Structure 1
Amino acid sequence: MNCYCNSQKLFKDCCEPYIKGMEKAPTAEALMRSRYSAYATHQVDYLVATTHVSQRHLYSKENILLWATSNNWQKLEVLKTTPTTVEFKAYYLDQNKQQHIHHEFSTFVQEDGIWYYVDGEYY
């Protein structure tokens, strides 16, 4: 099966090793892609674990799971990356089959060799 992040790689060779904790995402972009795949596969624990500790209080597992499961994730489009930021569009269908685009400029930080999502600006 192709990876949800639209990398053209197989899921098992792309985001799955990060989500399952077998490997650490080597870049901010790899982390962002794996987080998109985690939303598509409802991996809430991974989403919490990869959110920076200073921001975790802003999210609940219940709300993350609701957002992940109430949408049908269609595709990811990475627009621009720097070593610590990723701009992307996530395409999804809501429960009423309405098409939406989540356009975000995300910020990441690396601590002790591990990348974390810090926050995002939405367009």
Structure 2
Amino acid sequence: MNVKDLCPCGLGEPYSDCCGPLHSGERQAATAEQLMRSRYSAFAVGDADYLLRTWHPKTRPAELDLDPEQRWLRLEILSRSGGGPFDTEGTVDFLARYRHDGRTHVLSEHSRFTRTAKTWLYVDGDVKS
């Protein structure tokens, strides 16, 4: 991805000013929603290392193989609860559209996040059908 390209997270900022610094470790997510957006962007750019780094150790898989044929198209945040800079827990409900096998799919999830030692981590999520 060109650093001048718009960030996949949907905020309309260049990747280099938005999720890029989170992916490279220059900054950390300040809120659960920011972590959610940066994780979506990591899926979009194929950054499995970032996804594993931001996954809570109690629920993190040993490895993560991303499907290179999957193209993430758009993220829509539906709601959020907690997850602010002074909270220790938060949730984010979202829709993520992606293309795979010539068809467009929608992933709907209620994601849970926790903040420990000033770092937001993805805990788990309930996928809705």
DSSP-derived class of the 1:82 partner: strand
In 2, Cα distance between equivalents of 1:91 and 1:59? 26
> Could you tell me which of 54, 60, 85 is aligned with 2:58?
54
Q: Report the CA distance between 1:52 and its aligned residue.
A: 0.1
Q: Report the CA distance between 1:24 and its aligned residue.
A: 0.4
1:23-58 CA-partner distances (Å, limit 9, x unpaired): 0000000000000000001101100010001011x3
In 2, Cα distance between equivalents of 1:61 and 1:72? 17
Counting matched residue pairs gives 117
Higher helix share: 1
In 2, Cα distance between equivalents of 1:122 and 1:22? 31
DSSP-derived class of the 1:55 partner: coil
DSSP-derived class of the 1:117 partner: strand
Q: What stretches of structure 1 of length at least 5 have no aligned partner?
A: none
Matched, 1:32 2:36: yes
In 2, Cα distance between equivalents of 1:13 and 1:87? 24
The alignment's C-alpha RMSD in Å is 1.0
1:79-108 CA-partner distances (Å, limit 9, x unpaired): 1011201000000000x2101000000000
Q: Which amino acid aligns with 2:64?
A: K
Q: What stretches of structure 2 of length at least 5 have no aligned partner?
A: 83-89
Q: Which residue of 2 is the match for residue 15 of structure 1?
A: 19
In 2, Cα distance between equivalents of 1:24 and 1:81? 19
DSSP-derived class of the 2:50 partner: helix
TM-score by length of 1: 0.91
In 1, Cα distance between equivalents of 2:126 and 2:99? 21
In 2, Cα distance between equivalents of 1:38 and 1:109? 19
Q: Which amino acid aligns with 1:60?
A: E
> Could you tell me which of 85, 92, 96 is aligned with 2:91?
85
The ranges of structure 1 where at least 4 consecutive aligned residues each deviate by more than 4 angstroms after the TM superposition are none
Q: Which amino acid aligns with 1:103?
A: S
Q: Which residue of 2 is the match for residue 76 of structure 1?
A: 75
In 2, Cα distance between equivalents of 1:112 and 1:12? 26
